[in-house]
Structure 1
Amino acid sequence: MATFATPDQLLVIIDPIARRADGESVRIAKDVLSAGAASTKVCLPESPEEFARVLARRGSRRLVVIGDDRTLTRTVSLLHRQRELAGCVLSMVPVGTVLGVAHALGIPTGAVAAARAVLDGAERRLDLLVDDSDGVVLGALRIPPLQQLAAQEEAAGAAAAGRPWLQSLVRTLVPSRPPRPAAAPQPTGPARLRVEVDGVTLVDLDQPVEAVSVAPGASGEAEVVVRPLSVGAEAAPLEARGRTVTVSGSDFRYRADAGVVGPVRRRTWTVREGALGLVLPAGR
């Protein structure tokens, strides 16, 4: 791992969600970074387009983002699509309410600890999943039971409906789209999917499944777990490891990091070994 022994020049990009969700933590992180770095340039983008422009013009400064899992995923996705991820070392201070992916990757909890890790930490190369539509997955993707996903989406919508400021923020961050025609009712039963790992079928369409999970493992391989639908006695999960994973079948949605994607009928993920350089506390 590459260590950072001396203060550096930092470009700190602060997501608007972080500023609204916990302004005090943002202020503390800025103070710690400014005190410990040779120079700090702070940017406050207000839209996805502005965020992308700031990222593209970062120059030679070391990149630090302050925000939640969505901020982290957006940053990595943009760098990947700009084909600049391999040459970039990313640091993050987690601020917000959706932080499971950041913490699972080893980024410290708390503004002070995370900011200190930015200044004193070490670069670690992490594997990513990249799909055939050029999307990236940092942590894990899951195809949950369809009724569970529907319930989660309904709960998220209800939460936003009760918070006008959150609805306004979402409209700010997400480009407007024309209204879509009403979709056909989605099935609520178990999914029928074909899951292939390195071209070998792990489960086929004749076996209903309750859930599928795919996550970057070790040595450039993905860890795949399929839970067949159990009737009576609980069915043992099916497990496999490989570099490519393809899921196909009837329309399905999947949860990747902090978002839900789909519906799609087929998707292939490939492990990119060591694709993400992330600064973590030394020794992690």
Structure 2
Amino acid sequence: MAEVATSARHSATSWSAPEQLLVVVDPVARRTDGESVRIAKDVLSAGAAGTKVCLPDGPEEFARALRRRGSRRPVLVGDDRALVRAVSLLHRQRELAACVLSLVPVGGALSLARSLGVPASAVAAARAVLDGVERRMDLLVDDSDGVVLGTLRIPPLGTGLGREESGAGRPWLRTCQSLVRTLVPARPSRLVTAVPDAGPSQLRVEVDGEMLVDLHQPVDSVQVSPAPPGRARVEVRPASAGSGSSALLAEGRTVTVSGAHFRYRADAVISGPVRTRTWEVREAAWGLTVPAG
């Protein structure tokens, strides 16, 4: 892992004096948009009293850099996956509450960053790191210690989380898969892993212990999203509901989904299959730097 230490004049409007930053540049960001990475490093180095830049080559070095941050404030240069990875690591280390994260979004998957209020451009986001404010945010934590920063979705069976989507962010994998399919003769159908037919799911959804929908009522989709502080908004769309029909809605602190094996998308990560999973809202569990005002 390459590390570069630089010193620069402290910005008069930054957080506290002397402000020192640990800038962790995700390898995907370096490959995707090296120019935006360079701009972010220049702005941060010019505005902070001390800046250490880390260039991890993989997840292990990424985690090591965060563990060894000391008193420096961590700044991630990367996409949604880098942010989720950092929050997950700090949560598992039980250091998330005391650590304020900053993000300069660089990469392809940036919808989560935008929804959290992070500026889209590298320059604006880097300036927000220096001059912004901390915003405390709720966190969904599941019974396997996984985290969700934004929205959780369970789509209909056989749709939404298919092979093409599971290769998101890895175009080289899709290219290799296409090449293999072209060069290798088709195998007998009995050796091909079956893919579930698309259709409604049979799931039980409970919010704060109260049944919202049971197994006898198939559903097209389930969505869990942030609500007022300390609560989550649950939206279940029954399979029998037409385009003009209302979804089943509820708000609460805990959400349990169970039934047949299902997959779910939490932020930029696809998980499962699982038979049951419970998520709990942790109020103001983590902090992110956003523009002031």
Displacement of 1:160: 4.2
Q: In structure 2, the residue corresponding to 1:220 is in which secondary structure?
A: coil
Higher mean C-alpha displacement, 196-205 vs 211-220: 211-220
1:254 pairs with 2:264 = yes
Q: Distance in 1 between matches of 2:198 and 2:157?
A: 5
Deviations 1:124-180 (A, max 9, x none): 1000100000000000100012232244x325549846568999xxxxxxxxxxxxx
CA contact (8 A) 1:221 1:242 kept: yes
Find 2:117's aligned residue among 106, 111, 117: 106
Displacement of 1:219 in angstroms is 2.1
Question: Is 1:131 matched with 2:142?
Answer: yes
Query: Which of the pair has more CA radius of gyration?
Result: 2
2:176 and 2:23 map into 1 onto residues whose CA distance is 24
The letter of the residue matching 2:36 is S
Higher RCO, 1 vs 2 (CA within 8 Å, ≥6 residues apart): 1
In the other structure, the counterpart of 1:177 is none
Point out where structure 2 has 5 or more consecutive residues left out of the alignment.
1-13, 178-190
Gaps of 5+ in 1: 168-180
Question: In the TM superposition, what is the alpha-carbon distance from 1:113 to its structure 2 partner?
Answer: 0.1
Q: What secondary structure is seen at the aligned counterpart in 2 of 1:101? A: helix
SS at match of 1:147: coil
Q: Distance in 2 between matches of 1:16 and 1:158?
A: 16
Matches within 5 A, 1:69-148: 69-148=80-159
When residues 33 and 239 of structure 1 are mapped into structure 2, their CA distance, relative to the original with a 3 A threshold, is same
1:131-170 to 2 correspondence within 5 Å?
131-151=142-162, 153-154=163-164, 157=167, 160=170
* Structure-2 separation of matches of 1:159 and 1:49: 19
CA displacement at 1:189 relative to structure 2: 1.4
Contact 1:194–1:203 at 8 Å: present in 2 too? yes
2:226 aligned partner: 216
Who is 2:49 aligned against?
38
- Flag the 1:89–1:214 CA change in 2: closer, same or farther, 3 A: same
User: Is 1:16 paired with 2:14?
Assistant: no
1:279 corresponds in structure 2 to: 289
Q: Deviations over 1:196-247 (max 9, x none)?
A: 0000000000111011000121120011000011366743200000000000
Aligned to 1:56: 67
Contact 2:166 2:270 in 1 (8 A): no
Secondary structure class of the residue paired with 1:46: coil
After TM superposition, what 4+ stretches of structure 1 lie above 3 angstroms from structure 2? 155-167, 181-185, 231-235
Give CA-to-partner distance per residue, 1:6-51, whole Å, 9 cap, x none: 5610000000000000000000000000000001000001111111
Query: TM (normalized to structure 1)?
Result: 0.88
1:217 is matched by which residue type in structure 2?
Answer: A
In structure 2, relative to structure 1, the CA distance for the partners of 1:19 and 1:196 (3 Å cut) is same
> In structure 2, how many angstroms separate the alpha carbons of the residues matched to 1:217 and 1:158?
28
The 2-side partners of 1:158 and 1:79 are apart by 25
**1:192 is matched by which residue type in structure 2?**
Q
Indicate the percent of aligned positions where both proteins have the same amino acid: 66
TM-score, with length taken from structure 2: 0.85
Residue in 2 aligned with 1:178?
none
Aligned partner of 2:276 in structure 1 is: 266
